[in-house]
Structures are given as C-alpha cells and as structure tokens.
Structure 1
Amino acid sequence: MRPKSRKTALLAAMVMSSTVVMTGVSPPTAAAADTGVANGDVIANLWSWNWRSVAAECVNVLDPAGYGAVWVAPPSESLKRPDGVWWDVYQPYSYALSSRFGTQAEFSAMINACHGAGIKVYTDAVINHSAAQTGVGYAGTTLANKYDPVMYDRVDYNVDVCPRSISNWSDLWEVQHCELLDLPDLKTSSSSVRAKIAGYLNSQLALGVDGFRVDAAKHIPNTDLSAIVGQLGNTTSGVRPFVFHEVFPGQPPAPSDYFSSGRVLDFTYADKLKSAFQGDIATLSSFGPSWGILPAANSVSFVTNHDTERERRHLSYKDGAITKLANVFQLAWKHTTPTVYSGFEYSTNDQSPPSSNGFVTDTNCASGWHCLNRDPAVVGMVDWHNKVGSADVANWQSPAANVIGFGRGSAGFVAINNSGGAHTWQYTTGLPDGSYCDVITNCASRVTVSGGRATLTVPAKGAVAFHANGSTPAAVTGSYTVQAHTTWGQNVYIVGGVPALGSWNPANAVPLTTDSSSYPRWRGSSSLPANTRIEYKFIIREDGKPVIWETGANRVVTTPASGTTPIDGGWFRR
C-alpha cells in the first residue's frame, strides 16, 4: 500500500450503511491433482482474483506451467464501498475470513486446490491499521467509529500520541506512529495487539496459507514486526511461513531495516527495468546491486503490481509489448524470487475489479482482465527459469541498440529485441550443438546450434529462448488408448512431461477421439522422443470447466530407440 497512492480516494465521503447480500458462488468441486511438473520459485500475483478463479488457475495453469506460488488479496472482511473501488480491501472491518473475494469455505477450498496442484499460497496481510471509513463490511459488520472496530479498542491505537495523518515523511517516528492517510495506526508495540495480529495470521496458517506479503510494513517498526513474525506457527507443511514486506524506498525507514523479519519487495528493481525498457536495454549488462537494487537473498522482484501500475510508476499492460519483454528479462536474469502480475483492465485509477454487488466475479481472461501469467512467452520463460536453475549469466551480447542476448551457463540462452524492427544476429550461446525448442513460441519454432553459435532472427518487441532440456532426440510413435465414460461436451486427452505431450499443460495436451462403435474407448497418436522415460496422465477437458485429472501417481512409459510405443491406459482413474 503506497503512502500517497490512495489519498484522494481515502478522504472521500463517508460510506452509507447498507444490507450486504453474499453472491451465490460455490467452492470448486473438481479434485486437484499435481501434474508432476517441477514447481519452481516464480510467484503469480493474482491479487484481484476471487478464490474460485484462483483455485482453477492453480490447477489448470500455474501448476502445468511450473509456477511455485500464488499471491492473493487480503482474505479478511473489509469496508464495502457502494460506489465500487479496488482499494476498499485495505480497510479491514474484522478478521473474519469472509471478503469480497469469497467466503471462508471458498478461501479454504482455494488453498486445498492450489496445494493439491503443488502451488503455495501467500496472502496480503493488512496489519498496520484498520479501516478509516465507517459503514458496513462485506460480511455485514458495521463500523460507526474508526477507533472501535470489532477486533480492537481505542487503547490499541497510537491515536493518543499522534491523532493525525503523517505530514513529515522524513521523520521516522512520525512515519511509524502517525496515521497513514487517516487509517487508524495500530499500537504494534503492545503485546496484546501483537497477539491479536499473530492470531489472525495463524488462523490462515491453520488453513494452509504458506506465507504473507505485509502491507505498509515501513509504518511498523521492525522490532514489532519481528515480534509478530516470531509468534507465527509453522505452515501445514512444517516449515516457517515465507514473509515479504512492502517497504517503499527513498524515505525512512530503509528497506534493509526489515531484512531480519522477512524479504522485501524491490521497488527499485521495477523502477530500473521500466527505465531500461523505455530506453535502451543494452544498459542492463551490469544489472545488479550497483544499480541500487536490493540483495538477491533479501528481496522479491517484480515488474509491476496492483498498486504501482495505477500511478504509472511501473510498467503495466497499458505499455504493451515492453511489459511482457520486461517480464521475460526478469525470468531470465539471475537474481531473486520473481513475481508475474495479472490483473483487471481499468479506465480510472479507483476502478473496482469486475464485480456483482461489490463481490468480485470470476476472472475472464478474454474480457476485462489481462492475464499475463498465461501468455505463451511468459509460460515458456517460467519453464526456462526453472530449467536453468542457479547457472550464472554468461555470453552477454548486444549487437545493436535495444537488442541483447545472454546465456545462463550452458543451461539456456535468451535473446530479447526491444527495437521496432526484426533483428538477425549470430549469437554465441554456450549450449551444445543440436536443435532446440523455442519456449517463447511453445516450440512452434526451433533453434539450431552449430559450433556453439546460433543465428537468430528475433521479431520486433519479441524474444527467442531455449534451454538444454529442449533439444530434439530421435522420435518414435506413441499410440494411445484409454476407456473413459464422459458426458456431452467432454473430451479425453493425454498430457505429460515432454513437449510432445504438452509439458503438463492441459491446453497443449494430445487429443484422443472416439465414435459410436468404439465408445467408451478413446484413441490417439503422436510423436514421442526415443529412449526417454516419460511420465503422463489422461485428462478430461470441457470448455469453461476445470480440467479433470486422473487420480493417483503419474503413469510412466520408457520409449524404445525406434518404432511404435503402444500405451493402453485401461480405464480412466477417477
């Protein structure tokens, strides 16, 4: 939550009381099954999505693509503005887990669906303050006095030592004890307040939440934050929660003050990427701490987020192709844990996500939403990022202004063209000779490396990327059959851990067919890499519905050196 970004909106007219009616949505019912794709560290920021949509995205998109976690909005009840704004969720009315994104049951179902797909869940934690505006919350809670919400009393706030908004942003004491835009500042030095905040966060950990992004962290002394984090239990997987803080740079306190209690979102990283992609990306050859960005071990990077995109501080979907290219670079460059943001389209800064009576409706990536996390180039680079691992940056080349190429050891190579025309150049790749899949195009095009070099024609505002695991071996024919009872509109596919079977992405799975004489037996065929151990499953797809994955462990086949590989799946495992 940026100190000055919501000032006008937060000082608007007081909210009138109204009756809250919960929209009729239900939790996802399809059982989630991990695809077997290795989930890396990339975080999908789906901040404005409702719980049902997040659940479906974890299962159908994030896991098959190899994302590691999803970052979602605050799950607690908040102010409900009749005129509809996006930021009302930053004004907590209670710590009940019932919000404009769904009920507690839907929240819990989302976590379970994401965990079933191998995706961790991080929530936005609003713990510096409670609501400034009076009215009625999304679960029906009424607030008549901003210092008397259901979870706190006046004594729990710093109002008696600073009963006003922050005016001197250079005064550390004022920044951490006065009110951020009239939001009542919690007395986090109080043991009882710390206990209530920890209790709220622990209630989420008990449901399976894996970590928290702490909103407005710079307004909480790190001593207090450390005490609160210290009271948190382990996650349901038995590890400490992943905590990362929002600390705007440029004014006290410094981001480094918070390294002892968690990582810090790196605003300077996003600032510098915007400057480079609006200027000349050839300058990025030395991108690192010398640019003023935070240490890799203490930070989380991003290109844009739900707050900064509206001020145009950082790149957004409104900047077109360069935003995607900046994300390609973020995923390719060796530094820290990256995030990819997908949000709704807006014409005014305060505009609410698509909603019904204030409650956010299901995400529709074809209308009203910009789902960058699904873009084929970004999906390909998430896989590339996971495949190259910790290999160092190598073979930096910049054959022209706004054109760059670099490798990650001998594990992968990427070329990015931020210019207005296609560019052709012979790059030193560091990879063994062979034919490689271009992950930017989902293998629709290939790259030939000879003598360690590759001649690449990179489209304007485009990229080419390939990794060592994407070389082409000899091929055999896979012949598939499985028996499955389906309903009208459902179709059966085979998907697996090689590009020929969609790399666990249901959208790229191999279709099977049936007819009246052979139903319920479904058949199909495709090319498969020879001499390869392949994990796979059969799935059932229906437009507009969650993918139905087979239950149980992944099926396994090892292909021969040549010929045909018959795969008879027996009955579809439900």
Structure 2
Amino acid sequence: MKTTFRMMKTKHLSLLLAVLAGGFLLSCEEDDGAENALLDAQNEINVVDVTTHDGRPFSTGVEPQSNAKYVGGPGGGVMMQGFYWDVPAGGTWWNTVKNKTTAWANAGIKAIWLPPVSKAQNGPYSMGYDPTDYYDFGNYNQNGTVETRFGSKTELQALITAAHGQSMEVYADIVINHNSGGQSEANQYTGGNTWTDFTGVASGKFPRSQHDFHPNWVHSNDGGSFGGFPDLCHDVPYVQDWLWGRSDAVAKYYKNTMKFDGWRFDYVKGFEPWVVSSWNSAVGGFSVGELWDSDVNYLNWWANNANSSVFDFAAYYKMNDAFDGNNLNKLNDDMMWKRNAYKAVTFVTNHDTDEIYNKMLAYAYILTHEGYPCIFYRDYETWLDKNKLNNLIWIHNQKATGNTSILYTDTDEYLARRNGYGGNPGLIVYINNSNSWLTRWVPTNWNNTQIKDFTGHSGWYPTTQSGGWVEIQCPPKSYSVWSPNI
C-alpha cells in the first residue's frame, strides 16, 4: 500500500518549533510558521508500507522460564554470534562464552550461535569447518588433540547449561556439505585414491567411506563441492539415516543429548534445501541457512523450500551501499526481511565478511526493523560502544513491534515507522548520515501524545498533533528512535 503526502526538511539551527515541558509554546507568528511547515510536510512525504503481515513478535523457539534472567519482550529476540574467526586457541573459548551468559541475558540476548563444536581435521587449531567426527566434542584423542580449539565436551555442556539457566537458546553451527580428516582409500568411482575413509572415527559413530561422497553410485556430483574437501552425498539413505534418521543420528544427538536448541547450516549452496527441511522435520528447533547470495528471489525460494530462516545477505549488501556509499535511498531496495520477515536473520557483520564501516547506523537499522537480528561478538565486546548496542537491543525487544512503513528517504536521511502490535505502540526510527543535525515532520500513529527519543541522542519531548504529525530531530552521523513517553 502506498499513500502520498509531502514532507519538509529543516536544519537544526532554523527550527520552527521550541519544545518546553513536553509541548510547543508558540507565538501567533510561530503558529502560522508551524502550520505552513506541516502543510508542506503533508504534501511531500511518501509513506510506503513494505510488509503485509500482521506484525506479531518473532518466535525463535522455546519461551523463557519465569525465573530466568532473559525475559522476552514484545519485539522478539536478538541473537549473538558467540565467536569470531581465530578466537584464542588452547581450549578456553567455551569457558569464555559461559562467563558472558549472565551479562548477555541481562542485556536482552535471546540466543547464542556457537562455532562448529565437533572435532575437525586441524585438531586444536581448527575453527571446526573441516569436520572429521561429528560425535567428538573434545572427549576423544583424535587429530592430535583431545579438546577442540574451543574446549572439552564437559565445558561445552556447562556452557549450554549456563545459557539455558539464563533462559537463552544455543544454536549449533552444522557443517554437512563436506568432511575432512579421513584416511586415503582406493576409490572405485574415481579410479584413484581419495581421502574418504572415515571408518575409523574415534566415536565409532557415522563411519563413512567412498560410497557416501561424490562421485558415487548415486550420481557423479551435486555441484556443491567446497575447497577440495570430500563432498558428502545426502541422497545416500545411509547418510540420511546418520544425519537425522536414526535415534542417535547427528541431529537427534545434538538436540537430545547435547541440548542444542537450533541450527545454523553452513554453506547451504552445496546441497539441496530438502536436506535442511528433512533435518528440521526430524528434530525441530530454530534454523537458519548461510546462503551467501544477494538475490532476494533465491533467498526466499531457499527459505521456503528448506522450511528455515536464512541470513539476509540482500539487506547486508544494501546496508553497505546505503551507509558506506552515502545513499540511504538504497534502503528502499528489496531485502529478505521485506519479503518474509519471519524467515530473515539480519546482520551487520560475521566471521566471514566485514564490509560495513558505519556499523552503528547499520545496527540501528536492523535492531529497529523486522527480522531476527544477529550481533557479532567482536562488535559487541570489542569494537563498538556496548552501552549503545545494549540500548538498541532494549529498543528492539520492547518497542520494535508491528509491520513497517518507510516514511522518507534521500541520500543522507532515512525514516521508518514500526506500526505497533498488540497494544505496543511501535516506534519511529530516524537515521541521519549527513554532517548536520536534521529535523523532519513525520506522520505517527499517536494523536496528542508526548513522545521521546529512547536513544537519548535528542532531548526533545514533543507532543504529536491531533492528526498524529510531529517534528523530530536526529544528530549527524547518528540515529534517534521515537515512541510514546511511557
């Protein structure tokens, strides 16, 4: 739906209105000026409703227990990527993350995404993306180590228990496209030797051989080989049985024994979406796929066929174009959260890619908009202002409700409204990528209501007019988030 109005921009030093004690005190001349400015604004603004669902909060799994630290708000949850590339080796990482669970829960983090937890070919130095034994969590002497890079099985279970004690979920990074660390064997399908003999894995579970990889007796290749690693064939019934079918399958062991609540599937371009759908049907839980592609049609097709969420790479690249390319009009472009907000995981950076420079503007965007936002460990713990991120997390959890209407964009301004849901009033976010304070008249859903900027960046407490219009402001290279002062 689209409604056409007009909107006016004014610089901070030429404000038409002064705000005192939550209201406007104006002379007759000022009343005339404000009325003219409002008429100009109403004739200029272009309100575009970008989503069509009812705006319910996003469900990402089990509900928190009443005695837990994390308490879900009306806006849904926030995910923490609980690692970065080359976290410290030496088996200390699980304890590092465990010691942060209380603080993260208090900040409003709903879930933690962990790196691949099983033993991989590079042993104590591996980040886990070269898996050897899916059932070795740091409890077998294999590939030159007992512990994984991150720690022992006991420490991993203690981390999961600690997170659950804070009513947070824990998501496992699942690498099922390729394997590594097998022994060499004569391969009847290639006529040479391949590193496809995994019959001697220390756990004794899911032994694999040349028949379970491409090429094999099913077909020669699935087009999803990665880095020269042996490419697992999901069309083999034996592979399906060990991944999700049998009672001690990988999926069921991770869910029922290790107590994981959900899954991040690595490199899903390497296999068909029915694989993820079958896994999810077998064990449930939250699910998100790493489909590294900016094509929204492809992202949406995959999410629907996989019965899974997907990382919103379309939004990622558009945010880079908008905030670093100095053209916030790019935020009008199509993104996964606009197509299917309930299956979109939005993010600003991750362990693989870190292109956006103006990160706080990007976090202000994803934490006020629809989708399931994911925060990167190093952004939160090291690189950015944790207090500002915590403020945005609170805003997301408490205020970011309802579907979205884009109110205005130009090269350096973006304003959008979350329309509220279930009695929650929603919000208006104002992002300013210019070097000056800016103000705008905007249409709200709140009549004769005092509002405030919940970021604290503005000291204004304006009252909306009887028709819902109000003037708000935003500092340079920053953002403000407005909602009723309740």
Among 46, 69, 83, which residue is 1:35 paired with? 69
CA deviation after TM superposition for structure 1 residue 391, in Å: 1.9
Higher relative contact order (CA 8 A, sep 6+): 2
Among 47, 67, 73, which residue is 2:109 paired with? 67
* Cα distance in 1, alignment partners of residues 278 and 441 from structure 2: 55
CA deviation after TM superposition for structure 1 residue 116, in Å: 1.4
Unaligned 5+ runs, structure 1: 1-31, 136-143, 163-172, 233-239, 345-363, 472-574
Q: How do 1:116-195 and structure 2 match up within 5 A?
A: 116-131=165-180, 146-149=195-198, 150=201, 151-161=206-216, 176-177=222-223, 179-195=225-241
Identify the residue that residue 476 of structure 2 maps to in structure 1: 460
* Cα distance in 1, alignment partners of residues 371 and 252 from structure 2: 27
CA deviation after TM superposition for structure 1 residue 323, in Å: 1.3
1:91 is the counterpart of 2:146: no
Once the two structures are superposed, residues 501-560 of structure 1 have per-residue CA deviations (whole angstroms, 9 ceiling, x without a partner) of: xxxxxxxxxxxxxxxxxxxxxxxxxxxxxxxxxxxxxxxxxxxxxxxxxxxxxxxxxxxx
CA deviation after TM superposition for structure 1 residue 71, in Å: 1.1
Among 186, 196, 199, which residue is 2:242 paired with? 196
* Cα distance in 2, alignment partners of residues 184 and 456 from structure 1: 57
Secondary structure at 1:223's aligned position in 2? helix
1:219 is the counterpart of 2:270: yes
Unaligned 5+ runs, structure 2: 1-65, 88-92, 139-147, 185-192, 420-424
Identify the residue that residue 63 of structure 2 maps to in structure 1: none
CA distance change for structure 1 residues 376 and 54 in 2, over 3 Å: closer, same or farther?
A: same
* Cα distance in 1, alignment partners of residues 112 and 137 from structure 2: 18
Among 246, 251, 254, which residue is 2:290 paired with? 246
* Cα distance in 2, alignment partners of residues 456 and 208 from structure 1: 47
Are the aligned partners of 2:314 and 2:334 in contact in 1 as well (CA < 8 Å)? no
CA distance change for structure 1 residues 377 and 432 in 2, over 3 Å: closer, same or farther?
A: farther
Greater CA deviation, 179-188 or 293-302? 293-302
CA distance change for structure 1 residues 437 and 65 in 2, over 3 Å: closer, same or farther?
A: farther
Secondary structure at 2:97's aligned position in 1? helix
* Cα distance in 2, alignment partners of residues 273 and 390 from structure 1: 21
CA deviation after TM superposition for structure 1 residue 425, in Å: 4.4
Once the two structures are superposed, residues 156-175 of structure 1 have per-residue CA deviations (whole angstroms, 9 ceiling, x without a partner) of: 4334349xxxxxxxxxx987
Aligned residues: 372
Once the two structures are superposed, residues 347-371 of structure 1 have per-residue CA deviations (whole angstroms, 9 ceiling, x without a partner) of: xxxxxxxxxxxxxxxxx94xxx43x
CA distance change for structure 1 residues 293 and 115 in 2, over 3 Å: closer, same or farther?
A: same
Q: How do 1:331-480 and structure 2 match up within 5 A?
A: 331-333=367-369, 335-343=370-378, 365=381, 369-370=382-383, 372=384, 375-394=386-405, 396-398=407-409, 401-409=411-419, 410-425=425-440, 427-431=442-446, 438-441=453-456, 446-452=459-465, 456-468=472-484, 470-471=485-486
Secondary structure at 2:375's aligned position in 1? strand
Among 332, 340, 343, which residue is 1:298 paired with? 343
CA RMSD of aligned residues (A): 3.5
Are the aligned partners of 1:249 and 1:268 in contact in 2 as well (CA < 8 Å)? yes
CA distance change for structure 1 residues 258 and 189 in 2, over 3 Å: closer, same or farther?
A: farther
CA distance change for structure 1 residues 215 and 156 in 2, over 3 Å: closer, same or farther?
A: farther
* Cα distance in 2, alignment partners of residues 329 and 119 from structure 1: 24
* Cα distance in 1, alignment partners of residues 304 and 477 from structure 2: 36
Once the two structures are superposed, residues 182-209 of structure 1 have per-residue CA deviations (whole angstroms, 9 ceiling, x without a partner) of: 1111121112212222322322212321
Secondary structure at 1:448's aligned position in 2? coil
* Cα distance in 1, alignment partners of residues 220 and 170 from structure 2: 33
CA deviation after TM superposition for structure 1 residue 292, in Å: 10
CA distance change for structure 1 residues 33 and 56 in 2, over 3 Å: closer, same or farther?
A: farther
> Identity of aligned pairs, percent?
22
Among 228, 244, 264, which residue is 2:310 paired with? 264
Are the aligned partners of 2:337 and 2:371 in contact in 1 as well (CA < 8 Å)? no
Identify the residue that residue 77 of structure 1 maps to in structure 2: 119
